[in-house]
Amino acid sequence: MIRNILLIGTGGFIGSVARYFVSRLNLTMSLFSIPAGTLLVNITGSFIIGFLAGLSDRSTVLSTEARLFLMVGICGGFTTFSSFTLENLTLIHNGQLLQVVIYSSLSFLLGMLAVFAGYVLSNVI
């Protein structure tokens, strides 16, 4: 258990630092006035976690510890969006298309409401 936590924590550290450096692109480049660095992080993280999930599904090349370090740790620290997209892919593979729409819609809408509520609350305090 402690070993798994250390693997995830170390991977999370690496992913978070990598995210910091990639997302700095937000300061240096503009792509249709959207945060290009964050977009790059989300797309890259989604590709990497998809690749690792595909490897894990088809072979035993990645041990449980390697999956924890790479997928939960590095990808999770780099972007939680990658976990979100992988979960949606799993739902699609299971034929749960309605759940994809519900999960994606709720994640976006409730996330927007939550960030707005947090923002408003910070101005009240």
pLDDT digit string, tens, across residues 35-66: 778 888 889 999 999 999 999 988 899 999 99
Residue 34: phi, psi to the nearest 5?
-115, 160
| Residue range 101-107: mean pLDDT, rounded | 95
pLDDT band at 30; cut points 50, 70, 90: low
The span from the CA of 10 to the CA of 26, in Å, is 26
Answer with the residue of higher pLDDT: 33 or 20. 20
Structure pTM? 0.80
pLDDT, position 27: 72
CA 91 from centre of chain: 16
| pLDDT tens digits along 61-82 | 999 999 999 999 999 999 989 8
Buried b (16+ CB within 10 A) or exposed e, 1-30: eeeeeebbeebbebbeebbeebbebbeeee
